[in-house]
Chains A and B, each alone.
Chain A
Amino acid sequence: MPTDFKIVLFLCNWGPHVAYQTLQDRRADIPVEIKMVRIPCSGRITKALLFKALEMGADGVLLIGCQSGTCRYGTGTAAALENTEDTRQIMDLMGLGQERLQLGNFLPDQSEALLAFLQEFTQRVRDMGKSPIVPRTAAAPAAAETPETVAASHDVFACQDCGKCTSACPLALAGKSFSPRFVAAEIIAGRAQRPEVRAAVNACLTCGTCYERCPSAVNFPEFIKAMRHYYQGGELTAAPAHGGFFQSMMRAMTAETLVPRRWQALPDNIRVREKSPILFFGGCASYFDVFFRKFLNPQTERILEDSLRLLNFFDVEPALLADERCCGHDLLWSGDRDNFLRLAALNAKALAASGAEELITACPECYHTLSREYPRYGVTLPLKITHMHEFLEREIAKGAVAFKPLEGKIAFQDACRQSRFNDQAELPRKLLQRLTNGTPLVDGGAPSVCCGNSAWTGCDAFSKRMQVQHIEKAKQAGGQMIVTACPKCQIHLGCAMEDVMRGDELKMEMMDLTSAIAKSIYWA
């Protein structure tokens, strides 16, 4: 019973391939839906590769490797297990269901068992039906869009060649031969296609430091965003971090029939409602926690739970979008404007249907994207967008609450989307002041240097060096804890602290501001 289902089988070259060959030699009934890809080791198939197949239209993916103890390279079996487990859990959260991905481990002589496994999986996929994911190819930008028009519409011609941007850029300061002034000049000179220029556009952190300094107010991050979209006509972001897993995941979420199961693991003591004038928008933190579990073990989902608890603390029982999708920030900032717009349209529809009047989010990227980028691209939302910090400031200012002070000296890590893009560096500091009993923050210069990455694009040795220098400075100034305002800052800075060459030297406690408030606030 051949069907038009597609199943991708990643098959390890060693043990299980022998079993597979035995099946082929005796013309066994391997389901025709299965497309086999020979790979050197199951442990080398990353989460990004596993998911990429699904993003590109596979209805099921199989990863088959050697049995534990027989891996030629020693650690392949364990790595494959972790990668499939994490990916399956993310698939579950995003509503795809974990059953479409499965790991199998076989010895060379287990051909019969392998055949049964393949047939059973194929039958399961047939029963589940086609995958809801719609493969998306990058649409070429409109023909009228050229580097010249992009430069013109962002007023890059106003550049006076003063170089202030380069002298402030954290990447340049970390020693990378990288200069926003040079990028602007090259693109204006019609050399946008040079590989160095493309690489530079890709490397920019879009942190906005240069824009702060520029005497001609050249909005460099916006210009970079538009250039990435222009380049994307050919190839998606040249070097996305983590193999482009997050971009894949976000693109997959543009499928209308996919129904994410975003909030299934919410603790019982958090009170939410079916309908409420206030809606809480979580963002992608939960996906990150699963993805980085093994390496960094971040606890960014805590930020969302603490936010909900704080809302409850102030007697707000918010509604949630059960099928909440990503806001699209990372797609937009890695050049995939079309799929960003698809996500935006789906979110706008869901938010309108919720009937809520105000949306509160604890993620600065969601906040910025929903309140500023959606309208910029013509998507209007029928509700007010409020950042969690604004809500907290509003409620705390009413009085009757007090705080148990945080111990130790604190360095604050600004979120670029909050402090620079929305000019709100004061807001988190005002909140933090209440927790520190007036003890001044480490360094004090606001806003702080970029956390090291944005939109999972262009992470390299220089951005790493920049992070390390940043953490070292905070430590030298006596900092004992970094308070962050964005889940991603925690992930990127945590990553820099993992430097194996430095052991525990860079380790520092990190806590999100919202969580810190949740920990210390009480009714006076």
Chain B
Amino acid sequence: MYKQITITGFGGQGVVLAGRIVGQAAAIGDNLESTLVQSYGPESRGGACSAQVTIADGPIYFPYIQNPDILVCMSQSGYDKQYPSLKKEGVLIIEQDLVKPTDSRDHFAIPCTRFSEELGNKMMANIIMVGFLAAITEAVSLDAARATVAESVPKGTVEKNLKAFDKGWEFAQATLKGRRHKAAGQIGVVA
């Protein structure tokens, strides 16, 4: 098993924290190996920034990612920059309200910023995305990801952030359920 995940967004979205949670959950919770490379690059300050997480069941010799298996885009600029590098059979995940895909490639979308606002604080979009990513890709287990979220966020916000994580996880489950039904031709209730 060797999974390369790139998470991109703009500064302030918590992209690096999201990457760290995923990597830490894999390493500590799921007993795998993981690495994290964070890049703010010269474009930081509102520009694109990204986290590259590699998860493997053996040693990782090169932590940089050229062609990710999973690409998570929280901003349009991040998408524009990274999308061409995504592997052909890779999984694309986007922030539904902030990213307009440029082609018709199959992808998963979640309006995590809107959800975060609905939960009372728009700073949790990244945690919602972690929940979504974990459920869609199964790159990390539910327990490991949840426990790492609880450890990684400021004390006093743990409960809120776990709620945010669950929101992303549940939305992913609903999305997958919807896909299963659609694939079986059951789009509506009375169809």
Contact = CB atoms under 8 A, between A and B. Distances in A.
Nearest to B166: A398
B100 interface: no
B173 to A, nearest CB: 7
A309 interface: yes
B21 to A, nearest CB: 22
A73 interface: no
A309 B190 CA distance: 7
A358 to B, nearest CB: 17
A523 B185 CA distance: 11
Contact of B170 (A310, A398, A519): A398
Contact of A399 (B170, B179, B186, B189): B170
A315 B181 CA distance: 9
Given A398-B170, A398-B171, A310 B189 contact: yes
Contacts of A523: 177-179, 181-182, 186-188
B174 interface: yes
B67 interface: no
Interface in A397-414: 398-401
A523 B189 CA distance: 9
A280 to B, nearest CB: 15
A149 B19 CA distance: 68
B77 interface: no
A522 interface: yes
Contacts of A252: none
Contacts of B175: 399-400
Interface in A447-477: none
A314 B177 contact: yes
A395 B178 CA distance: 12
Nearest to B118: A397
Contact of A518 (B170, B187, B189): B189
Nearest to B186: A313
Contacts of A401: 174, 178
A315 B177 contact: yes
B181 A398 contact: no
B165 to A, nearest CB: 14
Interface string B95-127: 000000000000000100000000000000000
A143 interface: no
A316 B171 CA distance: 17
Given A523-B182, A524-B178, A400 B171 contact: yes
A394 B110 CA distance: 18
Contacts, number: 50
B117 to A, nearest CB: 14
Nearest to A404: B188
A306 interface: yes
Contacts of A400: 171, 174-175, 177-178
Contact of B189 (A313, A395, A398, A524): A313
A521 interface: yes
Contacts of B187: 522-523
Interface in A300-315: 306, 309-310, 312-315
A413 B179 CA distance: 35
B174 A313 contact: no
* The 3 residue pairs across chains A and B that have the minimum distance between CB atoms: A523-B178, A400-B174, A398-B174
Interface of A: 306, 309-310, 312-315, 395, 398-401, 517-524
16 contacts: A309-B189, A309-B190, A313-B188, A314-B177, A398-B174, A399-B175, A400-B174, A400-B177, A518-B190, A519-B189, A520-B188, A522-B189, A522-B191, A523-B179, A523-B188, A524-B178
Given A313-B186, A313-B189, A523-B181, 17 more contacts: A313-B188, A395-B174, A398-B170, A398-B171, A398-B174, A399-B170, A399-B174, A400-B175, A400-B177, A517-B189, A519-B189, A519-B190, A520-B188, A522-B191, A523-B177, A523-B187, A523-B188
Interface of B: 110, 170-171, 173-175, 177-179, 181-182, 186-191
